[in-house]
Amino acid sequence: MQNSFFSAVILGVLLSPCLCQAQEVSSYRIDTGRINGALFRIIIPSKWNNNLLMYAHGYESPSVMHTSGSFQNPSADMNFVPFLDRGYAVARSSYRKSGWALTEGVDDTEALRQYFVSKYGKPDTCFITGHSMGGGITLATIENFQQHYNGAMPMCPLASRPYIHLKMTFDINAVFSALFPGVIPPLDSVFNGSALPVMVEAVEEAIKKDTMLAAAIAGRFELKPKDLARVIRFNDGILRDIGSQAGGCPFDNTNTQYSGFPDDWELNRKVERLLMTPGTENFFKNYDRSGLIDRPTLLLHTIYDQLIPASMAVISYDNMVQDQGKKSNLVVLYTNGQAHCSFTSLETMKAFDLLRKWASEGKKPQPGILE
């Protein structure tokens, strides 16, 4: 999944220091370097039509450290060939840190866009897209820097307000821990850094002992039972990362009433309750979601997503856009994908072509199933 939503930045300072180099690779011109510590890669096709696509990547474990060799691996360029074949230059940033990096993702992507314009000139059209947390970065960008863009295509995005979405990961693990005691560490120990990581095998063994209860938990959080164990493990990593960055627990579930389970009374008596750690109150505030969009925004989502369910990726954001009176600028399209961000290249490009036509001709696509 996932990162960036927060206070406006003085953009000029983001461009220094910038260490850059350009080189010819195959039929593409490749420009690489660093801006404020964030690696970047720009790919310009030989038949460039003066259009630009900014790409924002999703959540990566804090243990993933980008090196010049790994981020600049040409094999990753193959993912963008359909865009390059349409004459678009593609620019992407590694962000200055891995893990939860929503703020950094927005700021580093904007810094890279500014660098591109300063070196290659203002493109005729500019779009932004990204997966998961990168989809959230895409939305935060089109809400805060939309004057620079013709449209946006967030895919399987972290579209809800960051606190609300991450509170869901907190709640899943809190509920599982209460109903399957002793299998995963208490959340308090996760946030203070004293707990060992969750072991998927231990969760799977516990689930086998009460598959009906596990299925009830999964269903309540829009999950398939087969995905529950790995989602809990993924959540554990996310919560550890956030706790480390925030300096404690940025969530409060003392007023949360958990419902929709076999015995809600018993669950609410047992579930671990945590107060927000003082000083973490503003952790999710930067670039918080607003729904204020004035450019064509095509949100692409799979019919099932174990990490960002429709209630978070679609319903929550659609309601925010409606509240802002901007519904004319949002279209949601679904595919029959059965996992997080499981789009085919054909589906991605169909959606992108619809967005381009909408932006150029004003013809808004019909929401619903991507045919």
Q: Which CATH number does the domain housing residue 90 bear?
A: 3.40.50.1820
Whether residues 151 and 43 fall in one domain: yes
Distances 180 to 6, 186, 206, 211, 256 between C-alpha atoms, Å: 37, 12, 7, 11, 19
Whether residues 154 and 222 fall in one domain: no
Give me 349's structure tokens: 């490009």
CA distance linking residue 14 with residue 1, whole number of Å: 25
User: Is 6 part of a structural domain of the chain?
Assistant: no
List all residues 6 or more positions away from 8 whose beta carbon is below 8 Å from its beta carbon.
144
Confidence at residue 2, expressed as pLDDT on a 0 to 100 scale: 34
Specify the range with the lowest mean pLDDT, choosing from 9-13, 15-19, 267-271, 323-327. Answer: 9-13
Is-contact 158 25, C-beta < 8 A? no
Whether residues 294 and 148 fall in one domain: yes
Whether residues 134 and 26 fall in one domain: yes
Buried b (16+ CB within 10 A) or exposed e, 242-273: bbeebebbbbbbeeeebeebeeeeebeeebee
Number of domains in the chain: 2
User: Is 281 part of a structural domain of the chain?
Assistant: no
| Percent of the chain's residues with pLDDT above 90 | 87
List all residues 6 or more positions away from 101 whose beta carbon is below 8 Å from its beta carbon.
2, 3, 4, 59, 95, 133
Whether residues 319 and 358 fall in one domain: yes
Confidence at residue 67, expressed as pLDDT on a 0 to 100 scale: 72
User: Is 2 part of a structural domain of the chain?
Assistant: no
Question: What are the φ/ψ torsions at residue 28 (nearest 5 degrees)?
Answer: -110, 150
- Final residue belonging to a domain, choices 219, 240, 270: 270
User: Is 249 part of a structural domain of the chain?
Assistant: yes
197 is in which domain, residue-wise?
A: 162-270
234-272: pLDDT as tens digits: 999 999 999 999 999 999 999 999 999 999 999 999 999
Give me 59's structure tokens: 């959540």
User: Is 214 part of a structural domain of the chain?
Assistant: yes
In sequence order, what DSSP letters do the residues of 301-328 get, joined into one string? Answer: EES--SSS-HIIIIIHHHHHHHHTT-GG
For the segment 89-107, the average pLDDT, to the nearest whole number, is 96
Whether residues 117 and 258 fall in one domain: no
Whether residues 202 and 133 fall in one domain: no
DSSP structural state of residue 42: E
CA distance linking residue 8 with residue 10, whole number of Å: 7
Whether residues 242 and 155 fall in one domain: no
Strand partners, 335: 302
Amino acid (one-letter) located at 48 = W
For the segment 86-101, the average pLDDT, to the nearest whole number, is 96
Amino acid (one-letter) located at 187 = L
Burial category of 201 from C-beta neighbours within 10 Å (exposed 0-12, middle 13-18, buried 19 and up) = exposed
Strand order in the sheet with 368-369: 18-25, 28-35, 38-45, 88-93, 51-56, 125-131, 151-155, 297-302, 330-335, 368-369
159-171: pLDDT as tens digits: 999 999 999 999 9
Whether residues 98 and 217 fall in one domain: no
Whether residues 56 and 135 fall in one domain: yes
User: Is 185 part of a structural domain of the chain?
Assistant: yes
Coil vs helix vs strand at 153: strand
Whether residues 170 and 147 fall in one domain: no
- Final residue belonging to a domain, choices 270, 297, 323: 270
For the segment 202-210, the average pLDDT, to the nearest whole number, is 98
Confidence at residue 70, expressed as pLDDT on a 0 to 100 scale: 67
**What is the average pLDDT value for the chain, to the nearest integer?**
91
274-300: pLDDT as tens digits: 999 999 999 999 999 999 999 999 999
Whether residues 203 and 230 fall in one domain: yes
Question: What are the φ/ψ torsions at residue 260 (nearest 5 degrees)?
Answer: 95, 15
- Final residue belonging to a domain, choices 239, 270, 301: 270
